[in-house]
Amino acid sequence: MTRGPRIAILSFHLESNAFSPPSRLEDFRQLCWLEGEAVSEHARRLNHMPSEITGFYARMDAAGPWQPLPLVIAAAPPGGPVDEPTWQLFLDTATARLRAALPVDAVYLGNHGAASGLGQGDTEAELMDAVRAIVGPEVPLIASYDLHCNISDRVIHALDGLFPYRTNPHVDLRQRAADAADAILACLGGERLQLRHVRLPFTPPSVTLLTARGPFADAIGWADTLLREDTSGELVDVSVTGGFVFSDVPQCGMCVSVTTRGDPLHAERTAQALARRIWEDRHRYLVVTSTVDEAVAQARTSTVPLLFADVADNPGGGGGGNTVGLMKAFHEARIPGVVLGVFIDADAVQQAVAAGVGGTAELVFNRMPSLFADTYAATARVLMLSDGEGTGRRGILKDRRFSLGASALVELLPSGMRVLVSSLRRQLSEPAMLEMHGIDIAAARVLIVKSRGHYRAGFDEFFSDDRIVDVDSDGLTTPNLARVPFRHLPRPVFPLDADTAWPASAG
Ligand SMILES: [Zn+2]
């Protein structure tokens, strides 16, 4: 008989952009929906699951005997809020399986942390509360979260410890899950963790949240210093999360969360002090982006290859991957040596399939226009067709399988711009996505990526930071927050409201 602690494991992985079409069951089934023992099998080999789950199993396996009690792992690509039937199915599955698994010694939640629902604005809190109601107040509840999470007071109240990613691009998923595993082991050893947080009225655009350098790197560095120089022995974790403003929910905002070994006051004071320091630094988070016209001019005169990031249309943040601003401008300016990817348009792929490899067709991109995404037609030659199945070799998808769906590499005429068009909404974060279509990235003069920041971990071997230009075109992830029709974001909030005060003055 297996011995060791009985640990329930579950995950709901969705980053909700309130302005994207709702996320449905098929979006989860396509990426990951696993229940029960199938989770354990997948977690111990190359898989499509959130890497936290793999990392959690690896740490627990290494620590000694334990009994994994996997409930349900559901992950969809960033998209709109989850529709109500899908959310209820997940919640019912998770709670039924948790009841059946009782008694449990601890629960690990490997969520993204920025999910919301069409029928329930704070699905994260609803899940945590449901789990807490079943296991009772004594069983440790520990979560890992994405750095772009929105943390409500209810979530903090339900949890014993929280371990958000500390890197952006996110390359520490497994490490943070391992940290969560260590916290669970500490709890099982008798510690009673305390978690406190401070949320600021501050929603920095995602492009300002990189952790290699810049203000957010400094904020993470201050958290690291607090941990390293802690003489009390109290601090288990100090984290800073950027929030995901496009969720458009009351709990949006940059957050400091602190987990201690038992002293809630120490957690509270530490969180307050760090939040104050970040708040005083907020003016460094103002965005510098190029306009489309500036980008074309830079490409025309540059003597070195440049990467232009179409940050406003990032499928990794719920963008459609289908705005034509940069494609149109570079094509019509006849900038030579341009590669653009990934343009998401299943219908355009089918037009290319109909034309066949070597064939020429009048391709219509975005036949059905939507918010920010116009229709655009161009003559194109089909260079290659594929099923879009590949394996990452670098960055956030390293050694992981990905699927772009049916794909076509086409060449727009007469500019010669090569465009990778795909069917499934994925961001271009991985060089293999282009290389498997025969593109020599090192030979491209201009690379246009529909991604906000995760491409940096994949394309750093081709483009150093000084050859990367963030462009603000159109899209559902625009860094120009004033263009977004927010409805539920708490106001005032910085930088949308320049004179936001914190703490809010009394009276
Ligand atoms: Zn993220």
Q: What is the pLDDT of residue 483?
A: 87
Q: Can you tell me the mean pLDDT for 464-487?
A: 92
Structural domains of the chain, ranges and CATH numbers in brackets: 6-284 (3.40.50.2300), 292-479 (no CATH)
> Ligand 1 centroid vs 372 CA: distance in angstroms?
23
Say if residues 481 and 203 touch (Cβ distance below 8 Å).
yes
pLDDT in tens, 14-28: 999 999 999 999 999
Give the Å distance between the CA of 414 and the centre of ligand 1.
Answer: 38
The mean pLDDT of 280-295, rounded to a whole number, is 93
Over residues 359-387, mean pLDDT: 95
Q: Is 391 helix (H, G, I), strand (E, B) or coil?
A: strand
Separation in Å, CA 436 to CA 232, 385, 440, 486:
53, 11, 10, 39
Distance from Cα 149 to the centre of ligand 1, integer Å: 7
| Cα of 112 from ligand 1 centre, angstroms | 8
Q: What is the mean pLDDT of residues 172-185?
A: 97
**Does 103 have pLDDT greater than 90?**
yes
State both tokens at 493.
């909030």
* DSSP E strand boundaries for 169-299: 194-199, 235-241, 255-260
Residue 434 has pLDDT above 90, yes or no: yes
Give the pLDDT confidence score for residue 371 in this predicted structure: 81
Look at residue 120 and tell me whether its pLDDT is greater than 90. Answer: no
- In what helix (H) or strand (E) does residue 434 lie, and over which residues does it extend? helix 431-435
Question: What tokens were used for 293?
Answer: 């016209």
Percent of the chain residues past pLDDT 70, beyond the cut: 98
Q: What is the pLDDT of residue 81?
A: 97
The pLDDT score that the predictor gives to residue 507 is 42
Ligand 1 centroid–CA 271 distance in Å is: 21
Q: For residue 329, how far is its CA from the centre of ligand 1 (angstroms)?
A: 29
> In angstroms, rounded to a whole number, what is the distance separating the alpha carbons of residues 222 and 227?
9
Q: How confident is the model at residue 121 (pLDDT cuts 50, 70, 90)?
A: confident
**Ligand 1 centroid, distance to 146 Cα (angstroms):** 5
Give the confidence band of 46 by pLDDT, cuts at 50, 70, 90.
low
Query: pLDDT per residue over 203-256, tens digit each?
Result: 998 889 999 999 999 999 999 999 999 999 999 999 999 999 999 999 999 999
Percentage, residues of the chain above pLDDT 90: 89
Judged against a pLDDT cut of 80, whether residue 465 lies above it is answered with: yes
- State the chain's mean pLDDT as an integer: 95
pLDDT at 289 over 60: yes
How far apart are the CA of 505 and the centre of ligand 1, in A?
32
